[in-house]
A and B are shown apart, each in its own frame.
Chain A
């Protein structure tokens, strides 16, 4: 198993500012992901955080808005840049210990509740 710690757990930010969310896993994982969960909506994958290289972004998400780092096997950050009220959401870090076959379960952090005024 893997325990994922995310911080901050919640924040209230002003429009136009940026927030960096940190994700720490208690053991080595193969893949790390960032999801967004808006009220009443499904979890939406933002990007796959790749160790030592640029993240792989899903359609509708770009690096300038959501820069991601993954300097090692257990840590990743997501920055929400130039925030607007539409960015208000829960952001979730997740990881898998699988070998890349694609059917491994995901572990999730508790999420970061972001409110943008």
Chain B
């Protein structure tokens, strides 16, 4: 069956360091992958999209990689700040239907 795996343990990281999150998937052939941020009591907010033919995408302090051979995406937050503390969700999709499949999310706690 299809699976999207994100680490269930919270990532505690010191302010200023780089946080790295992993999204692994099995029995999927996604055309693209998206990352969202979710704060408590709020809906997810879109951060980045990376397509299957792209290796890396950057946006300000965020970087995403996508390895279709390893079936894995890495999400990096460089120079992390306490305001980056949140849960980060990866989502996989195929062209043509907007129906995303989400992982459970990985919580990040940035310690001042």
Which residues in A have some Cβ–Cβ distance to B below 8 Å? Answer: 4, 31, 33, 40-45, 48, 58, 92, 94, 96, 98, 100-111
Contacts and interface: CB of A to CB of B under 8 A. Distances in A.
Q: Looking at B36, B45, B93, B98, which has the most chain A CB atoms within 10 Å of its CB?
A: B98
Contact of A105 (B34, B43, B94, B95): B34
Given A4-B43, A103-B49, A109-B43, A42 B96 contact: no
Interface residues on B, range: 20 to 34
A111 B42 contact: yes
B46 A100 contact: no
Interface stretch (B12-20, B72-80, B101-109): B101-109
A40 B43 contact: no
A103 B93 contact: yes
Contact of A48 (B4, B91, B99, B104): B99
Pairs of residues from A and B, 8 with the lowest C-beta to C-beta distance, nearest first: A108-B43, A105-B46, A102-B95, A43-B102, A102-B96, A42-B102, A42-B104, A103-B32
